[in-house]
Amino acid sequence: MPALLRRQLSKLELSEEKAPNVEQWRAFLVQLQRTYAEAEQDRYTLERSMMVSSREMQDLHDQLRRSEENFRVVAERIPDGVFVQRDGLIRYANPAMASMLAIGDPGELIGKDPFGTLAHPDDRDAARDYARRRAAGELVGMLSIRWVRSDGSAIFVEVRATQIAFDGQPSILVIAHDITDRLRAQAEREHMAEALRENELRFRRLFESGMLGIIIADRSGSILEANDAFLELVGHTREDLLAGTLAWEELTPPEWRHLHAGVNEQLEAQGWARPWEKEYLRKDGSRVPVLVGVAMLEGNRNISFSVDLSEKRRAETEHQRAEQAHAALEDQLRQSQKMQAIGSLAGGVAHDFNNLLSVILTYSEMLAEDFDATDPIRANLDEIHAAGVRASELTRQLLAFSRRQVLQPRLVDLNELVNGMKRMLQRLVREDVELTLLLSPSLPRTEVDPGQIEQVIVNLAVNARDAMPEGEIGRAHV
């Protein structure tokens, strides 16, 4: 290694045995540039003064040559891109610079405009202004721009420039450090941080929304945090939570606790448990049905979401009651249809029977006319006629029941009508029911259809009979 290079290394406390890092390479390169610039300035001074000997001039040229050789040795080892610019074009580029731009040979960069051709179109104006100001001797700092690689992709670089003498002429030394990976990692960190903030904001909104009961508990089941919706769900206060009196096990009724073993197995295996239904014990001792889901968090904690199923259960109960009522209505409809069929049948039978009764009544009346009123046969015929009349009344009631008789309203003595129905009503009610007629002597005659009134009284008597307990003596008042 040349003596000048060893001296420069020793100034930075470096040696051939101790491999320098990137920052030490950069510092050495700057020191070497300064030495090179100082030697070049001395050469100009000596040439102008013409007071030095040719021997001294040759020594100075040798020193400059060795300085340039040392510069190239260092520049080709440094991992950052290094190039020398003069008159706006690249005069030297190290291998790292070629690699940075995906170019195989650094010589391909010679003669190119580093701040024009290589710079990204959107950054060229800023790059050229930076190079102009640096060439003018202004103290400018670092420039961050994009360069376009040979494959068309763009990289981000930090550029530092300083004035040097290269090949005996004033030039600009540029060191470019690729920061693409750093910026990408920084962008990913910022994106992750932003995503984390958004997730935390969404969770906080969900936590405070009151739509779900949310708790955070440790592995032992102690509840560490709970939102207002959960506290309202179980009837506890935040003071109870802060006092540490809330625990998963105590809030669960004994008959539901056997499910916890399966939940813990799922948490161990996959980090979450399938939602399941259970109940919570409220502070007042009542119970509330819930749908619960659990997932593991960091630090041996878990988060649980609880949905109140009370409204769902009430809706299911109402639906079940509605179905039962519907079934009852369907049963009543079927019974009504049966009764309608029976009424139709009874009406048909009554109509035919009424025709037969008409014949019986007619012949009984004709026979009665052939006998004297004191004749015993006449009395028998009168009984036959009276029974036929009563039978005709029964058929009229059946026809009214079947809705096949045309209404015939007329003035009726209701006392007489009810009194005539006494025997039939007694047969309708049970033998252990005492039937009493409460008639009103001053009741005026009423214009009604007798058959319809009789039907109403029959229905009332039947309803009264059905309402009386079996095996007990009852009373029915008409």
- pLDDT tens, 285-312? 899 999 998 998 887 888 889 988 888 8
The contacts of residue 254 (CB under 8 Å, 6+ apart) are none
- Pair type for strands 287-297 and 272-281: antiparallel
What single-letter amino acid sits at 245? T
Question: How far is Cα 290 from Cα 308, in angstroms, rounded to an integer?
Answer: 5
Report pLDDT for 52.
45
Structure tokens at 167: 């090949």
Per-residue pLDDT, averaged over 219-236, amounts to 88
Q: What is the pLDDT of residues 125-142, one digit of tens each?
A: 888 888 778 777 776 778
Burial 444-470, CB ≥16 within 10 A → b, else e: eeeebbbbebbeebbeebeebbeebee
What single-letter amino acid sits at 85? Q
Q: Of residues 296 and 53, which shows the higher confidence score?
A: 296
pLDDT band at 1, cuts 50/70/90? very low
Q: What is the pLDDT of residues 417-438, one digit of tens each?
A: 888 777 777 777 767 777 788 8
Report pLDDT for 338.
76
Report pLDDT for 471.
57
Asked if pLDDT for residue 397 goes beyond 70, the answer is no
Report pLDDT for 50.
45
- Pair type for strands 446-448 and 301-308: unpaired
Which of 120-124, 378-382, 430-434 bottoms out in mean pLDDT, i.e. has the lowest?
A: 430-434
Report pLDDT for 289.
92
Burial of 329 (C-beta count, 10 Å sphere; 0-12/13-18/19+): exposed
pLDDT band at 156, cuts 50/70/90? very high
* E strands present in 87-237: 89-93, 143-148, 154-166, 169-178, 213-218, 223-226
CA neighbor of 161 nearest in space, from 150, 179, 147, 177? 177
Question: How far is Cα 312 from Cα 307, in angstroms, rounded to an integer?
Answer: 10
In the block, which residue shows the tokens 């009741």?
443
Structure tokens at 285: 């001792």
